[in-house]
Structure 1
């Protein structure tokens, strides 16, 4: 669903960042804000039948709830979320303005940390622009 939220260079950079960290296990990449979203990548063997609007709404609320709930706790600042499903994983990297959802096949915790760090760095650099 192309909505024009991002330039094609920015879209490509986000997908490349995820693809570099995850490799062939990458299933999908979706960029989102509080009000809109754009699916940037979907692996060819997957169907385009996911209800992304509902996913995005849930993930945005989940981010704000987690950020508020754990603020000031001894766990430290919220960084990212991993969700585990029967057929894959979802990682959400979000800041106050925007976020990226990435779905994958099986990964190690180190792989999740690598993609979260890379995407977080990219979103932080965008915030400075």
Structure 2
């Protein structure tokens, strides 16, 4: 999996940042757009260092493509998104077809994670 600058056009980038910032506010840390083969970080809050090893993160979050298939037909219904909780923040992953987005935040509620997921899906759809 490799980072690819220019993977996301300016319009999509603007829509993703706007949707996430509107929903999550100042808690938003970063936004990464990904496909099964490539990714691009489209937003990083100005007070954060850009030295994270995103390739490891993206490889793991790309498992969301397999999750769509694995959970298909589940008694629980259609797979919507994944929320991961860490000691110092949260990751919300949304996969729609052959592309996905994960965001990192300082804090987020389940309600807010559902709202940002809907916002991201509307941009990706």
- Residues in 2 aligned to 1:6 and 1:69: alpha-carbon distance in whole angstroms: 27
Gapped regions of structure 1 (runs ≥ 5): 125-129
Q: Report the TM-score when normalising by structure 1.
A: 0.89
- Residues in 1 aligned to 2:26 and 2:4: alpha-carbon distance in whole angstroms: 23
1:36 aligns to 2:34 (yes or no): no
- Residues in 1 aligned to 2:4 and 2:62: alpha-carbon distance in whole angstroms: 19
Higher helix proportion (structure 1 or 2) = 1
1:67 aligned residue: 68
2:98 aligned residue: 97
Q: Report the TM-score when normalising by structure 2.
A: 0.92
Gapped regions of structure 2 (runs ≥ 5): none
Q: CA deviation at 1:68?
A: 2.6
- Residues in 2 aligned to 1:13 and 1:121: alpha-carbon distance in whole angstroms: 10
RMSD: 1.3
CA contact (8 A) 1:91 1:103 kept: yes
2:12 aligned residue: 10
Runs of 4+ in structure 1 off by over 4 angstroms are: none
CA contact (8 A) 1:2 1:39 kept: no
CA contact (8 A) 1:32 1:56 kept: yes
